[in-house]
């Protein structure tokens, strides 16, 4: 464990007082880890109406002092982290920022930094330093080894050193970048990835059934397991996290729009059975994204590993009766064939926008993004698997209605983000989430185990 008193070069002679404004999932996660690390003065608050309940809830946590509001936390703390909804960061910093202690350091945990930066620059006094942060994982993932972005925006070097020392007990991997770099990377890694999973969920909901539970059975093992489990994990979370990082990040709209466009264009080629055009486009995208990618050990080692985490039972896929003129092509389809349109579109989108997902993976990947590249890699690095997906896309009508729903969903999410409408986003999100709610508990457990297994296998390489 790091020595919490090791704060060299900082002007503080005793332990710094750490302030946490916003005691939701992330605020509490930080409180738990910083308290366990031995920090003795942690001042926290949520909204004033939650004061009594929070005091009761955290009574046993060593070092924690619950205060009534952000003014009291700001006035008394040397390092303050705002962990509130991105949508409210302006309002909250406007209210409490002017109370910040002279010479203190301020950070935000928000997943999108453009509004956070604007709020800090507008409302924090000049004599306050800004060293922001962002843990690139959810509150249930252990922070050990996960990327933790640090943004040294304003203030002396000792301010960054102090923040590093305070946060070192999380044992995350510090990644240094500017506010702008942060938003560009997270648009690539998070926003468009979430758009893909949100679209899958909406599509399945609009099909009106859980695909892995239908009596006639679709295959839901292998990489389909990742899609289903991660989709559940996202919809079991709070909508505002995804809405904020998509709607408020200026780079995110472009990626999400291109994703929907890629999916639509590929789907049209499928419908028109324009085989040469579809194959050419997908192979070109594969070459652009994967040709120069590092040939390290693949993220997903085997589909068999994934089958252990499946919500459904693997079954032989039932193809539609082949259409007369496509009898020959459908005959060569393997069992469990799937067009994997969501993945074809992802790689097409990366290629079109010249995004190198492996560069982002190196710097600042979230567990979900790592998994998403893992499935894309699994499909695209095998000619056999990619051709099977393309054959299914062109000749197998079994999945076509699902693919149609997927297109409608992807365009809907893209439009919602481009309109910047939080309320519409919430309604879309909650409508889909309510459909999957009965399966959340089981799926969450499976998803956590799956993520742990995949990350551990990756680390053991
Ligand atoms: N959850 C995740 O996976 C991650 C989230 N983040 C980011 O961290 C931030 C917090 O997320 P998370 O903890 O999950 O969200 P939560 O909704 O769980 O927590 C936010 C908390 O801040 C409270 N709050 C709102 N306004 C104030 C205020 N004026 N004073 C004090 N507290 C206030 C909220 O109250 P109320 O609910 O009543 O509004 C809520 O309790 C977000 O910006 C998110 O994008 C970053 C990394 C991962
Ligand atoms: O891994 C993901 O993309 C998640 O969904 C969890 C998450 C959500 C918000 C963040 O700012 C960081 C991580």
Residues 212 and 315 in one domain: yes
Q: What ipTM was estimated for this complex? A: 0.99
Average pLDDT over residues 116-143: 96
pLDDT band of 74, cuts 50, 70, 90: very high
Let me know if residue 121 belongs to a domain. Answer: yes
* Residue 229 binned pLDDT confidence (cut-offs 50, 70, 90): confident
pLDDT of the residue at 6: 47
From the CA of 234, the nearest ligand is 2
Residue 316 has a pLDDT of 38
Q: Are 234 and 443 in contact (CB under 8 A)?
A: no
155 and 202 part of one domain: no
Give me the mean pLDDT over the 162-180 stretch: 97
Buried b (16+ CB within 10 A) or exposed e, 237-253: bebbbbbbbbbbbebbb
Q: What is the CA(109)–ligand 1 centre distance, in A?
A: 9
Query: Does a structural domain hold residue 287?
Result: yes
Q: What is the CATH number of the domain that holds 89?
A: 3.40.50.720
Same domain, 125 and 240: no
Q: Mean pLDDT, the chain, as a whole number?
A: 88
Centre of ligand 2 from the C-alpha of residue 10, in Å: 32
- Averaged pLDDT for residues 302-308: 65
Query: pLDDT at position 4, please?
Result: 44
- For 287, 301, 377, 383, 458, the CA distances from 296, given in Å and listed in that order, are 17, 12, 11, 18, 10
Tokens at residue 369, please? 């993004």
- In angstroms, the CA 157 to CA 316 distance is 61
Tokens of 72: 């009291």
Q: Is residue 37 part of a domain?
A: yes
| Domain shared by 289 and 437, yes or no | yes
How confident is the model over 315-325, as a mean pLDDT?
39
Q: Is residue 5 part of a domain?
A: no
> Percent of the chain beyond pLDDT 90?
70
Ranking 160-169, 173-182, 377-386 by mean pLDDT, the lowest is 377-386
Residues 23, 167: one domain? yes
272 and 141 within one domain:
no
- Asked if 246 contacts 194 with a C-beta cutoff of 8 angstroms, the reply is yes
Q: Ligand 2 mean position to 26 CA, how many Å?
A: 11
Q: Domain residues for 216? A: 183-459
pLDDT tens for residues 373-397? 988 998 998 999 999 999 999 998 8
pLDDT given at position 210 = 76
Number of structural domains (the chain) is 2
Q: Find, among 314, 319, 334, 351, the residue nearest to 386 by Cα.
A: 334
User: What is the β-pairing status of strands 79-82 and 18-21?
Assistant: parallel
> Residue 364's pLDDT band (boundaries 50, 70, 90)?
confident
Residue linked to tokens 């770099």: 181
Ligand 1 geometric centre to CA of 208 (Å) = 32
Are 141 and 208 within one domain?
A: no
Comparison of pLDDT for 327 and 242, the residue scoring more: 242
Q: Are 304 and 226 in contact (CB under 8 A)?
A: no
- 210 and 166, same structural domain? no
**Is residue 340 over pLDDT 70?**
yes
Listed residue (87, 146, 142) closest to 111, CA to CA: 87
Where residue 5 falls among pLDDT bands split at 50, 70, 90? very low
What is the rounded CA–CA span in Å between residue 277 and residue 269?
7
Distance, CA of 392 to CA of 400 (rounded, Å): 9
Looking at the fold, whether 150 and 225 belong to one and the same domain comes out as no
Q: Of 156, 177, 198, which one is at a domain's C-terminal end?
A: 177
Q: Is residue 6 part of a domain?
A: no
- Of 173, 169, 152, the closest CA to residue 161 belongs to 152
Of 42-56, 134-148, 202-216, which range is least confident?
202-216
- Of 114, 171, 117, 135, give the one whose Cα is nearest residue 420: 114
In a domain, 7, yes or no: no
Q: Which atom of ligand 2 is nearest to the CA of 237?
A: 5
Q: Please tell me whether residues 191 and 168 are part of one structural domain.
A: no
| Alpha carbon distance 87, 245 (integer Å) | 9
Domain stop point among 141, 160, 177: 177
Domain boundary among 114, 145, 177: 177
Distance CA 127, CA 125 (A): 5
What is the pLDDT, as a whole number, of residue 318?
32
Residue 450, pLDDT above cutoff 90: no
Residue nearest to atom 2 of ligand 1 (CA): 138
How would you write the chain as a 3-class SS string?
Answer: CCCCCCCCCCCCCCCCCEEEECCCHHHHHHHHHHHHCCCCCEEEECCHHHHHHHHHHCCCCCCEEECCCHHHHHHHCCEEEECCCHHHHHHHHHHHHHHCCCCCEEEECCCCHHHHHHHHHHHCCCCCEEEEEEECCCCCCCCCCCEEEEEEEECCHHHHHHHHHHHHHHCCEEEECCHHHHHHHHHHHHHHHHHHHHHHHHHHHHHCCCHHHCCCCCCCCCHHHHHHHHHHHHHCCCHHHHHHHHHCCHHHHHHHHHHHHHHHHHHHHHHCCCHHHHHHHHHHHHHHHHCCCCCCCCCCCCHHHHHCCCCCCCCCCCCCCCCHHHHHHHHCCCCCCCCCHHHHHHHHHHHHCCCCHHHHHHHHCCHHHHHHHHHHHHHHCCHHHHHHHHHHHHHCCCCHHHHHHHHHHHHHHHHHHHHCCHHHHHHHHHHHHHHHHHHHHHHHHHHHHHHHHHHHHHHCC
- Do 136 and 196 have their domain in common? no
Do residue 187 and residue 76 come from a single domain?
no
**pLDDT greater at residue 140 or residue 8:** 140
Of the bound ligands, which one is closest to the alpha carbon of residue 135? 1
- Which of ligand 2's atoms lies nearest the C-alpha of 186? 11
* Atom 8 of ligand 2, residue of closest alpha carbon: 138
Q: Who has greater pLDDT, 393 or 7?
A: 393
Q: What is the model's pLDDT at position 420?
A: 95
**Of the ligands numbered here, which is closest to the C-alpha atom of 231?**
2
Q: By percentage, how much of the chain surpasses pLDDT 70?
A: 85
If you average pLDDT over residues 180-201, what whole number do you get?
96
Ligand 2 pocket, Cβ-based, cut-off 6 angstroms: 111, 136-138, 190, 234, 241, 366-369
How many angstroms is it from 74 CA to the middle of ligand 2? Answer: 27
Query: Which pLDDT score is estimated for 324?
Result: 45
Query: Is residue 1 in a domain?
Result: no
Output the CA angle 181-186-192, nearest 5 degrees: 140
């Amino acid at each position: 464990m790091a020595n919490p008193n090791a704060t060299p070069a900082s002007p503080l002679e005793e332990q710094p007082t750490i302030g946490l404004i916003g005691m939701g999932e992330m605020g509490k996660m930080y409180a738990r880890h910083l308290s366990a690390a031995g920090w003795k003065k942690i001042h926290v608050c949520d909204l004033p109406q939650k004061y009594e309940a929070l005091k009761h809830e955290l009574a046993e946590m060593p070092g924690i002092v619950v205060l009534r509001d952000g003014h009291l936390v700001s006035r008394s703390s040397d390092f303050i982290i705002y962990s509130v909804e991105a949508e409210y960061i302006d309002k909250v910093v406007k209210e409490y920022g002017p109370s910040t202690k002279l010479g203190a350091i301020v950070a935000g945990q928000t997943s999108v930094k453009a509004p956070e930066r604007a709020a800090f620059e507008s409302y924090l006094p000049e004599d306050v330093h800004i060293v922001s942060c962002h843990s690139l994982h959810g509150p249930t993932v252990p922070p050990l080894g996960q990327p933790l972005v640090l943004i040294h925006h304003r203030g002396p070097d000792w301010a960054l050193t102090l923040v590093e020392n305070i946060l070192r007990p999380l044992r995350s991997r510090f990644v240094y970048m500017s506010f702008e770099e942060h938003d560009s990377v997270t648009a690539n890694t998070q926003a468009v990835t979430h758009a893909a999973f949100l679209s899958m969920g909406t599509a399945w909901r609009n099909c009106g059934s859980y695909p892995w539970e239908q009596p006639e059975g679709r295959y839901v093992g292998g990489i389909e397991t990742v899609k289903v489990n991660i989709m559940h994990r996202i919809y079991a979370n709070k909508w505002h996290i995804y809405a904020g990082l998509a709607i408020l990040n200026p780079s995110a709209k472009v990626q999400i729009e291109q994703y929907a466009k890629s999916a639509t264009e590929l789907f049209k080629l499928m419908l028109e059975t324009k085989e040469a055009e579809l194959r050419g486009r997908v192979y070109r995208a594969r070459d652009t994204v994967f040709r120069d990618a590092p040939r390290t050990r693949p993220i997903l080692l085997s589909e068999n590993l994934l089958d252990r985490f499946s919500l459904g039972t693997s079954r032989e896929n039932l193809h539609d009766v082949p259409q007369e003129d496509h009898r020959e092509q459908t005959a060569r389809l393997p069992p469990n064939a799937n067009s994997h349109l969501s993945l074809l579109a992802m790689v097409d989108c990366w290629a079109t926008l010249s995004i190198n997902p492996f560069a982002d993976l190196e710097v600042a990947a979230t567990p979900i993004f790592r998994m998403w590249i893992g499935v894309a890699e699994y499909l695209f690095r095998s000619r056999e698997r990619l051709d099977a997906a393309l054959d299914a896309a062109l000749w197998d009508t079994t999945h076509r209605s699902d693919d149609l729903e997927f297109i409608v969903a992807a365009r809907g999410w893209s439009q919602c983000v481009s309109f910047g409408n939080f309320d519409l986003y919430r309604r879309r999100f909650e409508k889909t989430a309510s459909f999957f709610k009965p399966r959340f508990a089981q799926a969450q457990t499976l998803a956590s185990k799956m993520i742990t297994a995949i990350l551990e296998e990756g680390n053991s390489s």
